[in-house]
Amino acid sequence: MTTMLGVSLRGREVLMVGGGLVTARRLRRFLDDGALVRVVAPELAPETRAIMVENAVPWTKRPFRRGDVRTAWLVHTATGDRRVDRAVVAQCERQRRLCINASDGAMGSARLTAQTSAGDVVVGVTGVVGVDPRRSMDVRDAVAAMLSSGRLPLRRRRPGLVGRVDLIGGGPGPADLMTVRARRLLAEADVVVADRLGPAAEVRGELGSDVLVIDVGKRPGDHPVPQEEINALLVEHARAGKRVVRLKGGDPFVFGRGGEEVLACVAAGVPVMVTPGVSSAISVPQSAGIPVTHRGTASAVHVVNGQGGIAPATLAAMLDDAVTTVVLMGVAALPRLVDAALAHGVPTESPVAIVENGHSPHQRTIRARLSDIVTVAQAERVENPAVIVFGDVARADLLLPVSATVESTA
């Protein structure tokens, strides 16, 4: 039978007998755990020597002697000679040291597990009798894949003293455009503060029923929750020891006010981390077959929020035919933008594309030349969310169209 133990080797002596490749591999693992490793071996493989030099691991250059195990908490033997390994095991039995025997795992008193971790959870796999390391590794890999993508319940059951806030980029909508890290952090969350855009709806169904979900994108009367209130919510729940996920559409640092949320957490002394996401600024044009840069067509991208004033830099970008201008939150501002561009001398025939509901079943692309886009957008009743692309990359014939396209007849 086997009892799996979570053993802390930090600061404890581990004796490794033998200087070959097996020792090299496991030496790293013990060192990563903070063990005080020493090696007894007549010679060392170059790989082993390199790791030992790098980590100042002491080497006793001679064959194993019985007294070697005396000060060790744990012994690992991989000499390449079964008889020697057996002698090490026998000596460990006598001296009551746990011993891992690499040449015959069933013979030693301890075995290493195939191990994986996700955040601060560690899972080890081994067999009850006999040893089949490949099989253990296969199971470990399958568990690791599920853990890292958030498909296993990772929520803490004992609240910590200090919580933390994770700002997570949810991407442009589909849950499978989120990062693996984002999925795992969501699976660990006690509280999820979500926006209206992004993958909130799809991933919400996967959260445990006792996860507190706070929707700050909308509230009765259709007003979004003010930023200061969102900041206060994040801090308050983290201070109560909760793992808080702030789930944002796209990338947290692209017009997401993520920076302000980070500042609020830092000011309150709450640990905060940011996980990037796929920004709609790039991925929504892409979903309509529009590359924001394209060799020979556009060599720079200017991303702007349509709600603000129209900055001279934006007009300059629109005038420069090597620059793609991407406007987020720009549907209402479209007429204003177009007027300003025309007044600034941007050619009337320069291409514009509006991509509505990117990466969704309702995705639609409207294209027209600059002088017609306002009329076409009104006729087509374009609505938010949409990304507007000004520049030659918006030409319908640049690449094969990826989605249904409404062409201007003008």
How many Å apart are CA 158 and CA 47, to the nearest integer?
A: 42
User: Binding to ligand SAH by residue 357, rule CB under 6 A?
Assistant: yes
Stretch near ligand SAH under the rule CB under 6 A, chosen from 100-108, 231-239, 315-323, 382-390: 382-390
How many Å apart are CA 365 and CA 396, to the nearest integer?
A: 10
Q: Restricting to residues 250-309, which ones interact with ligand SAH according to CB under 6 A? A: 250-251, 254-256, 279-281, 284
Stretch near ligand SAH under the rule CB under 6 A, chosen from 47-55, 143-151, 245-253, 335-343: 245-253
Minimum distance from residue 260 beta carbon to ligand SAH (Å): 13
Q: Restricting to residues 103-122, which ones interact with ligand SAH according to CB under 6 A? A: none
Minimum distance from residue 355 beta carbon to ligand SAH (Å): 6
State yes or no: is 195 an active-site residue: yes
Q: How many Cβ atoms from other residues are within 10 Å of residue 70's Cβ?
A: 11
- The catalytic residue among 104, 138, 218, 339 is 218
| Residues in the chain, total | 410
How many Å apart are CA 161 and CA 171, to the nearest integer?
A: 31
How many Å apart are CA 366 and CA 355, to the nearest integer?
A: 7
Helices 227-239 and 258-268 cross at an angle (nearest 10°) of 40
The first and second tokens of residue 383, run together, are 């609505």
Residue nearest to ligand SAH (CB): 250
Stretch near ligand SAH under the rule CB under 6 A, chosen from 58-66, 213-221, 351-359, 399-407: 351-359
Nearest to 278 by CA among 403, 374, 163, 175: 175
How many Å apart are CA 314 and CA 337, to the nearest integer?
A: 9
| Residue 161 · residue 155 · CB < 8 Å | no
Stretch near ligand SAH under the rule CB under 6 A, chosen from 43-51, 104-112, 352-360, 398-406: 352-360
User: Binding to ligand SAH by residue 249, rule CB under 6 A?
Assistant: yes
Minimum distance from residue 254 beta carbon to ligand SAH (Å): 4
| Residue 366 · residue 356 · CB < 8 Å | yes
- Report the C-alpha dihedral over residues 15, 20, 26, 27, rounded to 10 degrees: 60
Minimum distance from residue 145 beta carbon to ligand SAH (Å): 27
Q: Restricting to residues 168-187, which ones interact with ligand SAH according to CB under 6 A? A: 172-173
Stretch near ligand SAH under the rule CB under 6 A, chosen from 185-193, 238-246, 259-267, 356-364: 356-364
Among 237, 358, 365, 366, the residue binding ligand SAH under the rule CB under 6 A is: 358
Q: Judged by CB, which is closer to ligand SAH: 152, or 329?
A: 329
- The catalytic residue among 195, 248, 251, 372 is 195
Q: Judged by CB, which is closer to ligand SAH: 299, or 305?
A: 305
Q: Judged by CB, which is closer to ligand SAH: 189, or 328?
A: 328
Q: Judged by CB, which is closer to ligand SAH: 17, or 310?
A: 310
Q: Judged by CB, which is closer to ligand SAH: 36, or 230?
A: 230
Instruction: List residues near ligand SAH by CB under 6 A.
Output: 172-173, 197, 248-251, 254-256, 279-281, 284, 328-329, 355, 357-359, 384-387
Catalytic center residues = 195, 218
